[in-house]
Structure 1
Amino acid sequence: MGSLLTACSGEPPSRYEEYAIQGIRDGNLDRQGAHAVIASINHGGSFWSTEKNERLYNWNHDSNGYSDLAQTALSPSGSVALTADTKSIVAWNADTGRSLGYWTVPSRLHSLALHPNGQVAALGREDNLASIFDLKAGQIVRSLAHEHTIRSVYFMPKSDYLLTGSEDMTANLWNWRTGQKIRSWEHNFPVDVVTSNHTGDVIFVAAYMDNGYLYDLNTGNTIATTNTQRQRISAARFSPDNKRIALGLFDGHIQLHDATTGELLGKWRMHIRPNVYRESSYVTDLAFVSGKKLVALGSNGLLNHFELP
């Protein structure tokens, strides 16, 4: 019990490494937390091995200098990555570091996701559309409409389902191949984060300055609520066994919850870098490295390592 109380007070990381000198605008981890793609401030994009703590590639859209990147995505296996600025999107082969294609952005992007097969991307757009982009064909094959900007997109595992979260205060479940809307959840605030567990039968939705909600995919009913004291949630990831969910917050804290009851199991805080952009770092992404370890990317450019109960 003593260790849990210590964790709830905001225990610091066991260690951390610097991945960007001046901070990052976006960053993603693969399923096992073994690789990271980041869009750094003033220093373009890069791809990292978190296990070796080694920068593998520098990725920019302009060969003449650093690109001002704003969005990233990484396939669950870590084999394909996306980087985007306000004008373009590039897909990358993470094994070779080479570009798979360069395309013009149809509208300013607010979110990106890659299908587990690494061949299809979802583009969350400012013009209220979530577009399905076929990387091999190099074109949009379908667009799904909300009534406002799309803040979050997520491909469900082993299915043709896509989750979208919008500033119109709804989270929608779609069959992205047919364009059919399967289900919709209404909230009181714009939806910031949507994701699911690894078997795709439970989804998680977080709205702006609200708690998180766990839903049964088949019935649409609420399973549990994760209480974050109205702190805004910036990232979420289920544990490999689907029993827990880790939440990254905009105030730099991480909370671990029971994915069935919503019970708070522990709380940690990201390392702070004085005099660095966004000193109180928010969490851009996190991943379970094993049942006892968690890694989290912070907007201040640090990768944090945490020991779990």
Structure 2
Amino acid sequence: MNNFACRILLTLSVLLFAACEQKTPSIAEWQHAAAGAFDAAISQDGRYSLVASVNFGAAYWDLEKNQLLYQWRHNDNPEDGIVAVDISPDGSRAITADKRTFVIWNTNSGKAYGYWEAPSDIRAVAISNKGRYVLLGLGSGLVIFIDMNTGRRIEFTAHRQEAVASVDLSPNGLWAFTGGNDYRAILWNTQTAKPRLILEHKTRVSQLKLDRKGKLAFTSGTLGNAFIWSVETGKQVSQLKLKPREYVVSSAEFSSDGDLLITGAPGRDISLWQTSSGNRVAKYRARTRVKGRPSGAIIYAVGFTQDGLHILSESSAGYGEKWLIPSVDG
């Protein structure tokens, strides 16, 4: 092969590689925390986000208008910052937690229902429709499920006293999904505290999510192990085709039909996946606090707009962003 042909081949290879690695730019971005964020949640309908900022408690945003609706604080002590948040699937309630206390808020009025204390450090929270049930994942390895109407409480101890890193709750509060440093993700019944599925992993479980219909579950570990499971059979549906450097998933959300999954990572990367195959459909890159300078951003929350045409994210850089979903073939 002559030098000219080699140069042509090399050029084509570079162009092909660049095309494969090209990341779709956002079509909108909003600053939601000036000094950065500790955690975030996006409502299931994609209309609202809740951002726990470094300096100003938690902010509840209308994403369609980019309007700040409420600013919530637990107290005036800067050391008691809000570290975990969630929005109920029906959008009517929100929960914010600092290290040892949590508060439930009415998202229509902005008023708090009360303050409650946890027995050890809170690592993750989830809340059901209408705020009826709350799930707390604690650093002690304990998971606490609370019926906020009756005060009934279950202490789930199956995580072997290892820290619980991620929790999720079905909209009706019947099923809890919990995972942590014991290398296990457990789906269990909140009425009986009996496990339905115990999913063993080779590393700590750092992130998990149930789909809206209760048919699929997502789990990821700390060394690139990321799986989609059938809730009915407990069998693996697919494994996400992550690259070697993509070791940790920091957020995840299923589309309303369960066909797609979106994940966020500490390295600013946001990926859209086909659940049936584990293939990546599209990749996006969140902005950092200072454009043009190398700095990181953890993607704390991802979501879909209600029309299913766009992806949303909130990051530790304090920015919310919106991207267009490309057309996806079967």
Q: TM-score, normalised by structure 1?
A: 0.93
Alignment partners' CA distance in 1, 2:137 and 2:77:
28
Is structure 2 residue 319 aligned with structure 1 residue 305? no
Choose 54-63 or 251-260, whichever is displaced more. Answer: 54-63
Distance across 2 between alignment mates of 1:242 and 1:286: 15
**2:38 matches 1:25:** yes
Counterpart secondary structure, 1:233 = coil
The alignment yields a C-alpha RMSD, in angstroms, of 2.2
1:117 is displaced (CA, Å) by 3.9
Counterpart code for 2:95: L
Q: Does 1:68 align with 2:84?
A: no
For the 8 Å contact 2:55–2:78, the answer to whether it is kept is no
Show the counterpart of 2:153: 141
Instruction: From 179, 191, 205, give the equivalent of 2:205.
Output: 191
Detail structure 1 runs of 4+ shifted over 3 Å in the superposition. 5-8, 63-67
Shift of 1:185: 0.7
Aligned to 1:258: 274
State the 1:158 CA deviation: 4.5
- The residue identity in structure 2 corresponding to 1:306 is W
1:274 & 1:150 partners in 2: Cα distance?
Answer: 33
CA distance in 2, matches of 1:153, 1:271: 27
Matched, 1:214 2:231: no
Q: Cα offset for 1:90?
A: 0.8
2:292 equivalent to 1:280 = no
1:295 aligns with 2:309: no
Shift of the 237–7 alpha-carbon distance from structure 1 to 2, 3 Å rule, reads farther
Cα gap change, 1:132/1:89 in structure 2, threshold over 3 Å: closer, same or farther?
Answer: same
Find the counterpart in structure 2 of residue 127 from structure 1.
140
Residues 1:239 and 2:255 aligned together: yes
Spell out, residue by residue over 1:83-136, the C-alpha distance to the aligned partner (whole angstroms, 9 max, x if none). Answer: 111231111111000001111222101100011342111000011111002223
Higher strand content, 1 or 2: 1
Matches of 2:126 and 2:145, distance apart in 1: 10
Q: Any conservation in 1 of the 2:173–2:190 contact (CA below 8 Å)? A: no
The offset of 1:226, in angstroms, is: 0.7
Q: Residue in 1 aligned with 2:7?
A: none
Gaps of 5+ in 1: none
Deviation at 1:63, TM superposition (A): 6.1
Q: Please say if residues 93 and 130 of structure 2, whose CA atoms lie closer than 8 Å, have aligned partners that are also in contact.
A: no
> Structure 2 CA distance, aligned partners of 1:271 and 1:126?
31
For residue 168 of structure 1, the aligned residue among 170, 179, 182 is 182
1:37-52 equivalence runs, <5 A = 37-52=50-65
Once the two structures are overlaid, the 10-residue window that deviates more, 102-111 or 166-175, is: 102-111
Where does the alignment leave 5 or more consecutive residues of structure 2 unmatched?
1-14
Q: What is aligned with 1:178?
A: 192
Are the aligned partners of 2:133 and 2:173 in contact in 1 as well (CA < 8 Å)? no
In the aligned structure 1, how far is the partner of 2:286 from the partner of 2:19? 15
Work out the CA distance in 2 between the residues paired with 1:190 and 1:284: 18
Given that residues 172 and 185 in structure 1 are in contact (C-alpha distance below 8 angstroms), is that contact kept between their aligned partners in structure 2?
Answer: yes
Find the aligned partners of 1:217 and 1:87 in 2 and give their Cα distance.
Answer: 32
Give the conservation status (yes or no) of the 8 Å contact 2:93–2:107.
yes
Aligned residue for 2:232, secondary structure, equals coil
**How many residues align structurally?**
305
**Whole-angstrom distance in 2 between the partners of 1:245 and 1:65:** 36
Separation in 2, partners of 1:268, 1:7: 12
The one-letter amino acid paired with 1:301 is: G
Return the letter of the residue paired with 1:134. Answer: D
Identity between Structure 1 and Structure 2 (%):
26
Q: 1:93 aligns with which of 80, 97, 106?
A: 106
Per the alignment, residue 156 of structure 1 pairs with: 170
Secondary structure in structure 1 of the residue aligned to 2:297: coil
Contact 1:43–1:67 (CA under 8 A) maintained in structure 2: no
Q: Which amino acid aligns with 2:47?
A: A
What is the rounded CA distance, in whole Å, between the counterparts of 1:194 and 1:143 in structure 2?
A: 20
Answer with 1 or 2: which has the greater Rg: 2
Q: Is the 8 A contact 1:12 1:271 kept in 2?
A: no
- Tell me how far apart the structure 2 counterparts of residues 65 and 175 of structure 1 sit (CA, whole Å): 37
Tell me the distance in 1 between the aligned counterparts of 2:216 and 2:195.
17
- Name the aligned partner's letter for residue 282 of structure 2: G
Q: Which amino acid aligns with 1:274?
A: V
- What letter is aligned with 1:50? L
Of 202-211 and 57-66, more deviation after overlay is shown by 57-66
